[in-house]
Amino acid sequence: PDLGRRFAERKRCADLECSMLMCRGKAMRDFKGPDCRFVNFKKGEAVYVYYKLIGKSTELWAGSVGSDFGYFPKDLLEINHNYSNEELELPTDVSFTWCY
């Protein structure tokens, strides 16, 4: 299916609003995203995960570094704390419609 501005049709979250933290990890290397939908980070920074895309783009997770929020490749994160073992599967919304 045509996903339009979405990276995937579904995501896994810890709660229905995807507002609860799923896990925290440490960035294994620097990352600079291709556009404003992505969060940038430096090696060693703490990254907080709020949801994981599933389906077409399983390699992307969404989270925050400081006050910045966005997508990043999951393979760049070394998980060091899980906040929830619950994972709800939900439909995704349009990916950051404010991002031009």
> What distance in Å separates the CA atoms of residue 58 and residue 73, rounded to the nearest whole number?
9
Q: Answer yes or no: is 12 within a domain.
A: no
pLDDT of residue 51: 94
**34, pLDDT greater than 60:** yes
pLDDT of residue 1: 37
Q: Answer yes or no: is 38 within a domain.
A: yes
Report the relative pairing of strands 10-13 and 88-91 from DSSP bridges. Answer: antiparallel
Residue 38 identity: F
CATH number of the domain that residue 44 is part of: 2.30.30.40
Threshold 0.75, pTM exceeds? yes
> Which of 28-32, 45-49, 91-95, 96-100 is the least confident region?
96-100
Domain housing 51? 19-81
What DSSP character marks residue 86? -
Q: How many domains does the chain have?
A: 1
The per-residue DSSP string of 44-84 comes to T-EEEEEEEEESTTTTEEEEEETTEEEEEEGGGEEEEEES-
